[in-house]
Amino acid sequence: MQPGSVYAIKEGKDKTEQHTLSVLVDNEPGVLARVIGLFSGRGYNIESLTVSETEHEKHRSRITVVTAGPPQVIEQIKAQLERMVPVHRVIDLTVTGKAIERELLLIKVRGAGDDRVEALRLADAFRARVIDATTESFVFELTGRTDKLDQFILLMQPIGLVEVSRTGVAAITRGPEAT
Amino acid sequence: MTRQMTGAEMVVQALIDQGVEHLFGYPGGSVLPIYDELFQQDKVQHILVRQEGGAGHSAEGYARSTGKVGVVLVTSGPGATNMVTPLADALMDSIPMVCITGQVATHLIGSDAFQEADTVGITRPCTKHNWLVKDVNDLARILHEAFYVARSGRPGPVVVDIPKDVQFATGTYQGPALVEHKTYRPRVEGDQAAILAAVEMIAKAKKPLFYTGGGVINSGPEASALLRELAHLTGFPVTSTLMGLGAFPATDKQWLGMLGMHGTYEANNAMHDCDVMINVGARFDDRITGRLDAFSPGSKKIHIDIDPSSINKNVRVDIGIVGDVAHVLKAMLAAWKSAGHKPDKAGLKSWWSEIDGWRARNSLGFRQNSETILPQYAIRTLYERTLGKDVYISTEVGQHQMWAAQYFGFDEPNRWMTSGGLGTMGYGLPAAIGAQAAHRDALCIDIAGDASILMNIQELSTAIQHELPVKVFILNNQYMGMVRQWQQLLHGNRLSHSYTDSLPDFVKLAEAYGAIGMRCEKASELEGAIDAMIAAPGPVLFDCRVANLANCFPMIPSGKAHNEMLLAADATDEVIANAIDAAGKALV
């Protein structure tokens, strides 16, 4: 299944799964390039990637990667991440099964008359906030699961969607324990 | 121990504190402060190569033949980029190496300065880890971490990139005892439950096989000793990858020879038919497995590897044991003894008689019956004439490499240096120089091809300067033999650019460098010529003219399974032309 091997068994037998991985790393220079390079170099998918330093005093960052592939490839991705020198831990939030995933969307919509009213009504239904307004435009802020954001963008398209910025998925497990 | 010193002083002090005795390198603008410090001390011996790639491969040969970390010092820009091939080579073959590169001054980084290259960016995918040191107070810690990372877990190459201003700056030096890595703690002890399960499985096996690899060598001499003990205790047959040769003695009656694409008939058939496969420090590489969906279909598989990502990567296994080979084998031996296991004698007897049937095919047989030297005969003769001597063998890449693996017997680990994973032509001569630097009185031979040797022939000059009496034994057939063999198999015998039209006169070439040149064209004269080569006091370039069109057999044609081998006796032109089908052609 490894794309690196020309002797690989043909793909397609195993179903593609989407997994959210939480990777705790030492925030040293180049660590993000290292992780991204692993994915591109070995032909793995990145659906979404979020990274920020989460423990400043220890210089630790949490990288949240949403990836997709057959189960064997997902296992490889985790093993490959785990053996990287600056990686503390890799947690497969899809396997632990109790994770909350959120994404932040900023979306600019332009329109007049009924379109403005409709945009506000939809924003209200989705619990999006207006964070910028002019007489002919709004910028909405919306957090939620990826599919909710996708749906909101879809609805804004006929109304006058101008542009979109989104953060990618951040995720954390439920309950009192650290992962 | 902490002291104030300059960055350049720290580099040399760190090398001394890490027990480094030899360093391979090439000076340039961005490493001059470090070279200035080297000049003022005599604890670390610097070996000046002729091209940075030569330094890298020398360090690999040094590391492989000693079990120590190989160390390289090169300048920024082209110095660093020339090191890319050895770094990639060392990563594939798990060779511990610390490469120190100079870098332009920190304020010039990103300005396209003279001899500037993004060294950490370029080497990131071909190192185990790398660092750009921006503060002299981090330098000592990073250097010690670099040695720790290079040699721990699955060994590999690392790069420490040091800007010139950091080499001049003064900071606090700390010794290795004070440095502990924050994150990297590879597991060496295997999981006890998995070990017990593996021993249970082994005890019930009727057709078992040890499939060993470079991990046994990397684990140290104790691992080889434990492997021998376990093999002798169980009576199981043993085969090995290219990288693992020498871990189990080639003269032992349980030895089946190398396996894989150019492995023996008995080793590959035993792999195909075994019921329990015990993979000790090998990684199910594609040159070993052949066609994956037909790979050893009936066996239960145990895999011991220090790298968790090797387990279940190419082949699903039944029991994976993450740990260092020596630690795991020790635990397995203890478990085997304490459970009072005895091997299944009756089962093993019939298994060995099956193996003897495959052995009877004599898949490495050849007939030397004219004055034209067969390459197989050349290697076998070289082996026989060097028996009992303190020998280290390196190779380049190609047919000669496979013949060396097939016909030269290795009884001890760390005696065999070859580029297995990356397949780097030009590896052998610098690797032999590295081995010779570590073992001054040993007989270090690079078994070469006429094409490969020209890729790093300049290193002969290094051997002369440093009085390293390496012997280069060239199997000269005037072709890139392995390329030609594949063209015969895959491309209708159209020999596109695989013939070398104007080879140098190797004897004169040797003499031009100040080495000894020899040539042998007759089988009857070969023994005497080899004896003369061995007896020669300095470096020798030995031009052994061999049968031009000999090919390397036995062979698993690509896209085929282990039990579909092509033997030399069956390899007519027609069979060769049709050996590989359309699907196999894409597999290289």
Residue B557 confidence class, pLDDT cut points 50, 70, 90: confident
Write down the ipTM of this complex. 0.89
Residues of B with CB below 8 A from A85's CB?
128-129, 149, 181, 183-184
Query: Is the residue at B561 inside a domain?
Result: no
Tell me the C-alpha distance between A163 and A153, whole Å: 10
Write the DSSP string, B503-544.
---HHHHHHHHTSEEEEE--HHHHHHHHHHHHH-SS-EEEEE
When pLDDT is averaged across residues B553-578 and rounded to a whole number, the result is 85
**Which among A8, A26, A79 is the nearest to B183, CB-wise?**
A26
Percent of chain B surpassing pLDDT 70: 99
B116 & B255 share domain? no
- The answer to whether A85 contacts chain B (CB < 8 Å) is yes
Percent of chain A surpassing pLDDT 70: 93
For residue B584, give how far its alpha carbon lies from the nearest alpha carbon of chain A (Å). 9
Domain boundary among A54, A78, A97: A97
Tell me the C-alpha distance between B253 and B265, whole Å: 16
Tell me the C-alpha distance between A162 and A156, whole Å: 9
B380 & B241 share domain? no
Domain boundary among A33, A67, A97: A97
For residue A120, give how far its alpha carbon lies from the nearest alpha carbon of chain B (Å). 47
Query: Is the residue at A2 inside a domain?
Result: no
Domain boundary among A46, A70, A97: A97
Neighbours of B468 (CB within 10 A): 22
A87 & A50 share domain? yes
* Residues 116-175, chain B, touching A (beta carbon < 8 A): 120-121, 124-125, 128-130, 132, 149, 153-154
pLDDT of residue B285 exceeding 90, the answer is yes
A90 & A22 share domain? yes
pLDDT of residue A7 exceeding 70, the answer is no
- The answer to whether A167 contacts chain B (CB < 8 Å) is no
pLDDT of residue A2 exceeding 60, the answer is no
Query: Is the residue at A177 inside a domain?
Result: no
What pLDDT does A155 receive? 97
Query: Is the residue at B380 inside a domain?
Result: yes
Give the CATH number for residue A136: 3.30.70.1150
Q: Note whether B132 contacts A83, CB cutoff 8 Å.
A: no
A61 & A81 share domain? yes
Tell me the C-alpha distance between B232 and A18, whole Å: 48
The tokens describing B277, both together, are 């496969």
The tokens describing B106, both together, are 């920190």
Residues of B with CB below 8 A from A2's CB?
313-314
A129 & A89 share domain? no
- How does the average pLDDT of chain B come out, rounded? 96
B445 & B476 share domain? yes
pLDDT of residue B14 exceeding 60, the answer is yes
Q: Note whether B129 contacts A86, CB cutoff 8 Å.
A: yes
Residues of A with CB below 8 A from B120's CB?
30
Give the CATH number for residue B78: 3.40.50.970
CB B485, CB B449: distance < 8 Å = no
**Which among B132, B292, B308 is the nearest to A82, CB-wise?**
B308
- The answer to whether A6 contacts chain B (CB < 8 Å) is yes
Q: Residues of B with catalytic annotation? A: 52, 114-115, 164, 482
Domain boundary among B304, B332, B359: B359
Count: domains in chain B: 3
pLDDT tens-place string over residues B69-106: 999 999 999 999 999 999 999 999 999 999 999 999 99
Residue B318 confidence class, pLDDT cut points 50, 70, 90: very high
Neighbours of A130 (CB within 10 A): 13
For residue A55, give how far its alpha carbon lies from the nearest alpha carbon of chain B (Å). 15
Residues of B with CB below 8 A from A87's CB?
183
**Which among A6, A8, A85 is the nearest to B183, CB-wise?**
A85
Q: Residue B520 sits in which domain range?
A: 375-545
Residue B581 confidence class, pLDDT cut points 50, 70, 90: confident
A77 & A146 share domain? no
Which region among A91-100, B50-59, B141-150, B183-192 has the lowest average model confidence (pLDDT)?
A: A91-100
* Residues 304-323, chain B, touching A (beta carbon < 8 A): 307-309, 311-314, 316
- The answer to whether A5 contacts chain B (CB < 8 Å) is yes
B154 vs A3 pLDDT, higher one: B154
Write the DSSP string, B456-486.
STTHHHHHHHTT---EEEEEE-SB-HHHHHH
Q: Rounded to the nearest 5°, which phi and psi values hold at B69? A: -80, 130
Burial status of residue B202 (CB atoms within 10 A of its CB: 0-12, 13-18, 19 or more):
buried
Q: Residue A145 sits in which domain range?
A: 100-172
Across the strands, what pairs with B280?
B212, B304
For residue B68, give how far its alpha carbon lies from the nearest alpha carbon of chain A (Å). 20
Q: Note whether B124 contacts A72, CB cutoff 8 Å.
A: no
**Which among B120, B293, B309 is the nearest to A9, CB-wise?**
B293
A44 & A109 share domain? no
DSSP state of B108: G
Q: Note whether A79 contacts B149, CB cutoff 8 Å.
A: no
pLDDT tens-place string over residues B517-536: 999 999 999 999 999 999 99
- The answer to whether B4 contacts chain A (CB < 8 Å) is no
B208 & B341 share domain? yes
B331 & B390 share domain? no
Q: Note whether B183 contacts A80, CB cutoff 8 Å.
A: no
A133 & A158 share domain? yes
Domain boundary among B178, B209, B225: B178
pLDDT of residue B182 exceeding 90, the answer is no
**Of B183, B261, B311, which to mutate for an interface test with A (greatest number of A Cβ within 10 Å)?**
B183
Tell me the C-alpha distance between B198 and B319, whole Å: 7
Residue B573 confidence class, pLDDT cut points 50, 70, 90: confident
**Which among A8, A72, A83 is the nearest to B292, CB-wise?**
A8
When pLDDT is averaged across residues B239-250 and rounded to a whole number, the result is 98
For residue A94, give how far its alpha carbon lies from the nearest alpha carbon of chain B (Å). 20
Residues of B with CB below 8 A from A80's CB?
309
Query: Is the residue at B107 inside a domain?
Result: yes
Interface A-B: count of C-beta contacts within 8 A: 64
Residue A3 confidence class, pLDDT cut points 50, 70, 90: very low
Residue A6 confidence class, pLDDT cut points 50, 70, 90: very low
B209 & B345 share domain? yes
pLDDT tens-place string over residues B406-440: 999 999 999 999 999 999 999 999 999 999 999 99
**Which among B125, B154, B289 is the nearest to A37, CB-wise?**
B125
What pLDDT does A13 receive? 62
A26 & A93 share domain? yes
Residues of A with CB below 8 A from B94's CB?
none
Q: Note whether B129 contacts A7, CB cutoff 8 Å.
A: no
pLDDT tens-place string over residues B445-475: 999 999 999 999 999 999 999 999 999 999 9
Query: Is the residue at A63 inside a domain?
Result: yes
Give the CATH number for residue A57: 3.30.70.260
A37 & A51 share domain? yes
Query: Is the residue at A5 inside a domain?
Result: no
A42 & A105 share domain? no
Q: Note whether A83 contacts B153, CB cutoff 8 Å.
A: yes
For residue A127, give how far its alpha carbon lies from the nearest alpha carbon of chain B (Å). 42
B264 & B384 share domain? no
When pLDDT is averaged across residues B538-563 and rounded to a whole number, the result is 93
What pLDDT does B259 receive? 97
Residue A97 confidence class, pLDDT cut points 50, 70, 90: confident
B130 & B233 share domain? no
Tell me the C-alpha distance between B99 and B111, whole Å: 24
pLDDT of residue B65 exceeding 90, the answer is yes
Residue B580 confidence class, pLDDT cut points 50, 70, 90: confident
Count: domains in chain A: 2
For residue A100, give how far its alpha carbon lies from the nearest alpha carbon of chain B (Å). 27
Percent of chain B surpassing pLDDT 90: 92
What pLDDT does A5 receive? 43
- The answer to whether A2 contacts chain B (CB < 8 Å) is yes
B379 & B503 share domain? yes
Cβ-proximal residues to B41 (8 Å cutoff; 6+ apart), any chain: B12, B16
A43 & A92 share domain? yes
When pLDDT is averaged across residues B338-343 and rounded to a whole number, the result is 94
CB A109, CB A123: distance < 8 Å = no
Query: Is the residue at A178 inside a domain?
Result: no
B484 & B527 share domain? yes
Query: Is the residue at B475 inside a domain?
Result: yes
B247 & B288 share domain? yes
The tokens describing A134, both together, are 């002019």
